[in-house]
Each structure stands twice: as C-alpha cells, then as structure tokens.
Amino acid sequence: MKTLQIKLFINLRNHQDIAYAPYMTLPGQTTKDIYFMPTIPMTITSISNALEVINKAAPRRDDIIKVFFSKADMLNVLNQMVKDAQKSGTPLVPLQFERKSDLIGGKVTRTPDGKFIFRKPNTLPVLLKDGDMRPSPDGASSSFDVNSVRASRFRYGSTIIVSNVDLAGPLPLPANARTLSFKNGVKANTIDDASRKNIIDNNIKLIASLLFGPDQKFYYKGLPKFGYGIYSYSVEPSRGNPGKLWDAPDPTKGVFAATVRLRLAPIKSKSDTKETQQKQSLQGCQLRKADIIRDFHILMNKAVPEHIDSLGLVDDPEEKGTSSRTRQFEVAEQRRVQTAPAAAGPVAPPARPVAGLQSTGGSRSARRRRRTATRKNRAYKESSRGMSCVNLSGATLRQ
C-alpha cells in the first residue's frame, strides 16, 4: 500500500501552486492521504464490482472515490478484486510461470519445513504453495535441476510437472529421476515490473479522472458554497522520472508524487447571469489558447512559457474588494433594493411647458430622431458584448 501526493497547477488567482487534499473533492473529508496499490492494475469496473460484493449494493461515483481516501477500504477492495480475478482464471498479478522456458534451467529446492522454492539465475526465488505440490515418492534429494517440463496449459491453477530427466522418454524413469507436480500460482509485481508495464501510470490516470473529471467540482478550501466547475485537467509528465507520470520523493515511506494541471471554470452566480456567461466564454477561449501554445512548445521540444499559466484565471472567492469581479462569488447574498425616503408634505406636480415655447429637448421630430439613435446605439452595444475568440493559433482575442 502506497500514498499518492498530488501537486496542482491551478488557474485560481493567488493560489496557482497548491497541494491537493481530499476535502477539495468531497467536502468534510478529514483524511489527508490518497491510498493506492501501484503494482495491481485497477479500473472503475473492477472497483465497482468489488464494492458491490462487499456492500451488497451498487456503488455511486463518490463511493468509488472514497475508496482511495481510506486505507482499510482500499485493502478490502483489493482483496476482493484478487479473489474475483483468480476465480475467473485471469489473476491481477503475474503468473508464476507462463511458458516452459520460465522453468528450464532453474532449480527446485525443498526447505527443512517442507516448502518448495524455485530459483533461476538472475531472478528472485518463487515460493510454491504448500498443499499444491506432490513430490515423487523417491524424491529424497532436497533439490534438483529442472531439465524437463510437462503442462497442458499455463493458467492460474493449472498443473505443472517438472523433472531433472526427460519426461517424454520411455517409462519407467531412471532411478535418479526427481519429479515434482504443483499448481501454477501468481507472484507479486515489483515496482520495476509495474513501472515497465505502465501499471503505476494507469492507476494515477484513473485517480485523476475520478477526482478531476468533467462531472466533478473543485471546492475551494473544502467549502461547499465555493464549488468551481472543472473545465479540463491533465496529468503532467515527470521531470525527474523521464517517460513517467510520477516521482518517488521518499521511497522509504512509500510516497509517490504526481502533478496535475487543473483548469477551473468561474463560479456561476444567481445574479448577473449574462455577465458571468460572457466571462466563462472568454475564459474558455483563453484556456484553449493556452493549451494550443503549450502543446506547440511540447511538440517542438521547447520550454513552455510561464505566462500561459496566468491565462484564464478565476477569482479567489475570499478576496474582498470593490471590483465588479467579486460579485460572482457572493452567491448567498441577495441584492438589496434601496428606495428613496418619502418626502414630507404633498408632492408638487411636474411643471408643464409654457404654451408657445419649445421644451429644452427641441422639436418633436428631433427628439424622435435622438430616441431612435439611442435605441440603435444601445442594441449595438448589447450585441457587441458577446465575447468570441478569433484565430486561436495566432492567440488573438477580442471582447
């Protein structure tokens, strides 16, 4: 069992470089760690099936996410996954032996307590389970070299016979023959095995998809009222471990580290809906522009400009000020309509223009022309408020 630390590059103003905590996905979570098994491949389907067997009910998405926040739940799910896979004959961990060549040239040794160990040069020893092995009656010797193998198939639980003499030769076998019959089992993946097979990378991608998928929200400081929608995310390649998505900053403590670039959408406010939608549209264009610039530099094997992380920033909801951008975070506050106090005494009627004199507004036709021009100008401004992005590859934006 290992823990995963996630560093976020996030487009949140004044908080662009933060450490992820579980309460940012599920408010109220008190655990600080993300648990996972780097050497066993995991999928949403396998976790869901295991949880359904354990809890006797179909799990929700949050139930699957919570598995990674609890060491006990993770162990229970992994044990159930291993049992299910072994019953189906497709174990999650590698088979002990997948072909005859895995055994030829090795040596079987019987330990003083009656266990059998298979060892081959330049490989780790493999313990063959007690009860599954039947040594030959004349197998008095404590060890023998494997020179011949007989097996109908190499699957989990299938029977394999090894001997120091040719098993295809004439019967009876020579007096010096030593044979051992056992059932094929599984062996544990090492970290190097899991890294070579991309199991660790795939497990990290699975965790990131659960935590930062399009249906999830990012909760600022774990506060439900500050839930940001997620525009996109990506797991960044490791700088210290080329070709992988993870680093091991402290191998003695079993800690893995990954970096995720997270793009948040602004919080939707109940008021100023149109203005908020326009801001989100512009932000989407800015984020697409940043992604294009970033992908181009990666493709050309160039350093990615640091300024693209400042594109499409969303506001800090706790940042108070007089600017209009903070209004979108005051979701809980209702607008207060202020009314002018009633004047004392009767209200005087408006003055009427004196007959024979023109009002200050000019002639009736002039006022009509001004009103028409004002309406056209207002309609043009309303239509031009929409925000669009032009020539993303050239990084041209207009509002």
Question: Looking at residue 76, what is its pLDDT?
Answer: 95
Note whether 10 and 16 are within 8 A (CB): yes
DSSP 96: S
Among 305, 220, 291, smallest CA distance to 261 is for 291
Output the pLDDT for position 92.
81
DSSP character string of 306-373: GGGGGTTPBPPTT---SSGGGGGG-TTPPPP---PPPPSSPPPPPPPPPTTS--TT--HHHHHHHHHH
Q: How many CB atoms lie within 10 A of CB 310?
A: 12
Which pLDDT belongs to residue 366? 73
Residue 152: how many other CB atoms lie within 10 Å: 8
Whole-number pLDDT of residue 171 = 82
Contacts 24+ apart (CB under 8 A), 172-177: 175/138, 177/136, 177/138
**CA–CA dist 154, 74 (Å, integer):** 30
Q: What does the pLDDT read at residue 260? A: 95
Low-confidence residues in the chain, pLDDT < 70: 130-141, 251, 269-280, 282-284, 298, 303-311, 320-363, 373, 375-399
pLDDT score at 329: 32
pLDDT at 222: 92
pLDDT (tens digit per residue) in 271-298:
555 556 666 676 667 777 777 777 777 6
Neighbours of 348 (CB within 10 A): 7
Residues whose CB is less than 8 angstroms from the CB of residue 378 and which lie 6 or more positions away in sequence, other chains included: none
Enumerate the domain spans of the chain.
2-81+191-267, 100-183
pLDDT at 397: 40
